[in-house]
C-alpha cells in the first residue's frame, strides 16, 4: 500500500463522515416524525400524530412531507415558509380536517410539484392560493366540500398537469378558472353536484385528454348541449356519464341521445299586434316570434284549425299567407271580414317542449258579423215571409176591390159615380188601415254603446225598424196604384 493509496482512503473516509454528518442533520426529526430516504427523496413522515400544526423542527432539506391523519384545521399564511420548509417537492395533507386555507398558505413553496389535500373539509379556495407554486404539476382535492371554483384559481401554472376534484359539492366552475395552462391534461369532476357546465370554462386547454364527469346530476338541456358536443368531439366523454334531468332523459348516457335532444322549452317572445280593425279596412298581419335551442317549429291556429297557405277562410275566397324567417312566423289575412275575428294562437314546438300564446283580432262595426249571421238570418227570412204575405194580401184585396167597384159602376149610373168618389176615399182609407194595422212605434235612435255587443244590437234594431217602415210605405204605394188603375 503506497502513501498515495492511503491518502485516497483517508479522503474517502473523510467524505463518508461528512456525508453521514449531513444525513444526520436532516434525519434528526422531531419525535413525532420519521425521516428517511424514500425513492431518493428526503422524506419526513408524520402520520397520525395528533399534530395541530405543521412541525417546526424539520430540516429545510426535507423534500417530501407527509402529514396524513393529523388535526390541522387551518393552514395560515406562510405556514410552511415560517418553519423553513421551502424545498418541498411533495406535500401530503390528507385527512387533516383542514377547513380553510389562507391565500398565502403555500407561499415560499416555489419548487413544490405535488400537493395532496384530499379528505379534508375545504369549502373554498381563494384565487391566488397557488400563485407562488409555479412548479405545481399535481393537485389532489378529492373529498372536500368545495362548491365553486373561482376565476383565476388555476392561472398561469405552466406545469400543471392534473387536478382531481372528485366527490366535492361543486356546482359551478367560473369561466376563467382554468387559464393559461399549456400542459393541463387531466381533470376529475366526478361525484359532484354539477347540473351543467359551460364550454367556455374549458377553452384553451390544448392538452386536456382526460375528463371525468360521472355521478353528477346532469341536466341534459340546451344549456349543456355545447359542452356535451365538445366532450364527444374531443373524445373526452367517458361512460357511464348519464343525465338526471329532464325526466325524459333521465338515466340516458350522453352519447346515446342526439345533440338536438339537449333542448330547452321554446319561448314565445313576441306576439301581436292585438288588432282592432274596421270592417273592410283591408289586410291584417299577425306576427309571432319564438326562440329556443333547437329552433322551434312555429304554427298559427284559428278556432282549433292549423293554418297554412292553402287553408280556406270562412266567407272569403282568399286564403292566408304565412311567411317565415329566422325566429318569426307571420300570418297575413287579406281583406279581413268579421268571420276572421277571434283568437289566433301561435304555437312553438321543439324537442324541448311546447309553448303557445294567442292574440285577438277584433273587427269593429260587424253587425252582420259571423256570429250575428246565425241570429240575423232567421230574422231576415221572417221579414221576407212577412213581406210576401203582405204583398199577397194587398194583391188579393186590390183585385176584390176592383171587381166590386166595377160591379157598382155597372149598377149605378154616372150620377152615382160622381158621389162615389168621396165614398171611395173613405173605403180606401179603411183599406189601408186593414192592410197596415200596426201603429208604427216611434223610431228609436240609441247612442252607440261602448261594447261591440251593444253596437250590434242597436244596428239590429235599426235594421228591423227600417224594414218595417219600408214595408208600410210599400203597401200604401201598392194600394194607391191599385186604386188609380181601377
Ligand atoms: C392521538 O389521540 C388519541 C386520542 O385523542 C390517542 O388515542 C392516540 O394514542 C393519540 N396518538 C398519538 C400518536 O399520540
Ligand atoms: C406566468 O408565469 C411565468 C413563469 O412561469 C412568468 O414569467 C409570467 O410573468 C407569469 N405571467 C403572469 C401574467 O403572471
Ligand atoms: C346541489 O345543488 C342544488 C342547486 O343546484 C342544491 O339545491 C343542492 O342542495 C345541492 N346539493 C348538495 C348536496 O349540495
Ligand atoms: C306561403 O306563400 C308565400 C308566398 O306566396 C311563401 O313565401 C311562403 O313560403 C309560403 N309559406 C308556406 C308555409 O308554404
Ligand atoms: C314579421 O313581422 C315582424 C314584426 O312586424 C317583422 O319584424 C318580421 O320581419 C316579419 N317577418 C316576416 C318573415 O315577415
Ligand atoms: C287566449 O289567452 C287567454 C289568456 O291570455 C286565455 O284566457 C284564452 O283562453 C286564450 N284563448 C285561446 C283560444 O286559447
Determine what percent of the chain is predicted with pLDDT higher than 70: 70
User: Nearest 10 degrees: CA dihedral of 449, 453, 458, 462?
Assistant: 150
In this prediction, residue 425 has a pLDDT band, given cuts at 50, 70 and 90, of: very low
Contacts of 50 (CB under 8 A, 6+ apart): 70, 71
CA distances from 310 to 36, 238, 317, 334, 349 (A): 89, 50, 11, 13, 21
Backbone angles phi, psi at 155, to 5 degrees: -120, 130
Does ligand 4 come within 6 angstroms of the Cβ of 309? yes
Task: Give the residue, 446 or 147, on which the prediction is more confident.
Answer: 147
Tell me which ligand sits closest to the C-alpha of residue 31: 1
Tell me what pLDDT residue 418 has: 43
CATH superfamily of domain region 28-261: Ribonuclease Inhibitor (3.80.10.10)
Tell me what pLDDT residue 432 has: 45
Determine the distance separating the centroid of ligand 6 and the alpha carbon of 359, expressed in angstroms.
Answer: 8
C-alpha 263/C-alpha 295 separation (Å) is: 9
CB 300 within 8 A of CB 242: no
Q: Helices (DSSP H) in 129-221: which residue ranges?
A: none
Tell me which ligand sits closest to the C-alpha of residue 347: 6
Residue 88 has pLDDT above 90, yes or no: yes
Mean pLDDT of 92-110: 95
Any idea where the domains of the chain sit in the sequence? 28-261, 269-365, 370-485
Does ligand 5 come within 6 angstroms of the Cβ of 433? no
Closest atom, ligand 4, to C-alpha of 323: 8
CB 176 within 8 A of CB 151: yes
User: Quick one: cell of 248?
Assistant: 325524459
Q: Which element (helix H / strand E) includes 335?
A: none
Pick the CATH number of 269-365 from 3.40.190.10, 2.60.40.10, 3.40.50.2300, 1.10.1060.10: 2.60.40.10
Contacts of 472 (CB under 8 A, 6+ apart): 436, 440
For Cα atoms 197, 199, 205, give the angle at the middle one, nearest 5 degrees.
120
Determine the distance separating the centroid of ligand 3 and the alpha carbon of 216, expressed in angstroms.
Answer: 11
Residue 207 has pLDDT above 70, yes or no: yes
The pLDDT mean for the chain works out to 79
Strand 328-333 and strand 297-302: pairing?
unpaired
C-alpha 443/C-alpha 157 separation (Å) is: 95
pTM across the whole model: 0.67
Does ligand 5 come within 6 angstroms of the Cβ of 323? yes
Residue labelled with grid coordinates 181601377: 486
Mean pLDDT of 161-179: 96
Tell me what pLDDT residue 465 has: 41
Closest CA to 66 of 38, 40, 86: 38
Tell me what pLDDT residue 375 has: 46
Residue 22 has pLDDT above 80, yes or no: no
CB 60 within 8 A of CB 80: no
Determine the distance separating the centroid of ligand 1 and the alpha carbon of 53, expressed in angstroms.
Answer: 15
Tell me what pLDDT residue 455 has: 37
Residue 479 has pLDDT above 80, yes or no: no
Amino acid at each position: 500500500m503506497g502513501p498515495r493509496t492511503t491518502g485516497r482512503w483517508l479522503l474517502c473516509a473523510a467524505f463518508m463522515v461528512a456525508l453521514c454528518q449531513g444525513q444526520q442533520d436532516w434525519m434528526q426529526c422531531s419525535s413525532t416524525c420519521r425521516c428517511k430516504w424514500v425513492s431518493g427523496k428526503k422524506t419526513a413522515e408524520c402520520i397520525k400524530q395528533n399534530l395541530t400544526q405543521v412541525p417546526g423542527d424539520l430540516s429545510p432539506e426535507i423534500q417530501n412531507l407527509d402529514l396524513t391523519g393529523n388535526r390541522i384545521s387551518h393552514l395560515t399564511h406562510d405556514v410552511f415558509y415560517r418553519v423553513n420548509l421551502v424545498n418541498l417537492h411533495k406535500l401530503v395533507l390528507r385527512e387533516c380536517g383542514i377547513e380553510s386555507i389562507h391565500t398565502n398558505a403555500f407561499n415560499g413553496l416555489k419548487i413544490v410539484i405535488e400537493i395532496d389535500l384530499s379528505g379534508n373539509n375545504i369549502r373554498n379556495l381563494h384565487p391566488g392560493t397557488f400563485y407562488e407554486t409555479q412548479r405545481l404539476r399535481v393537485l389532489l382535492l378529492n373529498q372536500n366540500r368545495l362548491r365553486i371554483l373561482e376565476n383565476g384559481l388555476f392561472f398561469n401554472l405552466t406545469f400543471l398537469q392534473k387536478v382531481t376534484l372528485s366527490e366535492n359539492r361543486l356546482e359551478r366552475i367560473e369561466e376563467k378558472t382554468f387559464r393559461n395552462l399549456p400542459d393541463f391534461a387531466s381533470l376529475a369532476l366526478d361525484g359532484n353536484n354539477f347540473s351543467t357546465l359551460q364550454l367556455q370554462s374549458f377553452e384553451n386547454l390544448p392538452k386536456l385528454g382526460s375528463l371525468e364527469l360521472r355521478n353528477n346530476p346532469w341536466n341534459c338541456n340546451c344549456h349543456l348541449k355545447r359542452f356535451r358536443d365538445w366532450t364527444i368531439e374531443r373524445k373526452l366523454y367517458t361512460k357511464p356519464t348519464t343525465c338526471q334531468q329532464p325526466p325524459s332523459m333521465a338515466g340516458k348516457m350522453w352519447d346515446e341521445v342526439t345533440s338536438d335532444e339537449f333542448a330547452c322549452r321554446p319561448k314565445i317572445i313576441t306576439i301581436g299586434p292585438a288588432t282592432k280593425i274596421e270592417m273592410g279596412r283591408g289586410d291584417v298581419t299577425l306576427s309571432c316570434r319564438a326562440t329556443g335551442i333547437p329552433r322551434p317549429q312555429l304554427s298559427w291556429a284559428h278556432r282549433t284549425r292549423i293554418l297554412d297557405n292553402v287553408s280556406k277562410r270562412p266567407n272569403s275566397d282568399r286564403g292566408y299567407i304565412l311567411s317565415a324567417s329566422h325566429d318569426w312566423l307571420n300570418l297575413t289575412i287579406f281583406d279581413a271580414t268579421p268571420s276572421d275575428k277571434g283568437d289566433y294562437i301561435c304555437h312553438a314546438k321543439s324537442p324541448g317542449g311546447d309553448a303557445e300564446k294567442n292574440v285577438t283580432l277584433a273587427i269593429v262595426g260587424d253587425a252582420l258579423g259571423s256570429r250575428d249571421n246565425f241570429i240575423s238570418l232567421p230574422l231576415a227570412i221572417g221579414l221576407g215571409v212577412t213581406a210576401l204575405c203582405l204583398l199577397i194580401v194587398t194583391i188579393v184585396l186590390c183585385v176584390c176591390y176592383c171587381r166590386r167597384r166595377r160591379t157598382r159602376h155597372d149598377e149605378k149610373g154616372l150620377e152615382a159615380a160622381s158621389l162615389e168618389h168621396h165614398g171611395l176615399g173613405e173605403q180606401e182609407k179603411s183599406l189601408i188601415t186593414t192592410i197596415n194595422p200596426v201603429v208604427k212605434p216611434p223610431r228609436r235612435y240609441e247612442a252607440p254603446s261602448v261594447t261591440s255587443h251593444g253596437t250590434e244590437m242597436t244596428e239590429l234594431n235599426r235594421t228591423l225598424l227600417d224594414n218595417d217602415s219600408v214595408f208600410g210605405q210599400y203597401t200604401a204605394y201598392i194600394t194607391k196604384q191599385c186604386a188609380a188603375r181601377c
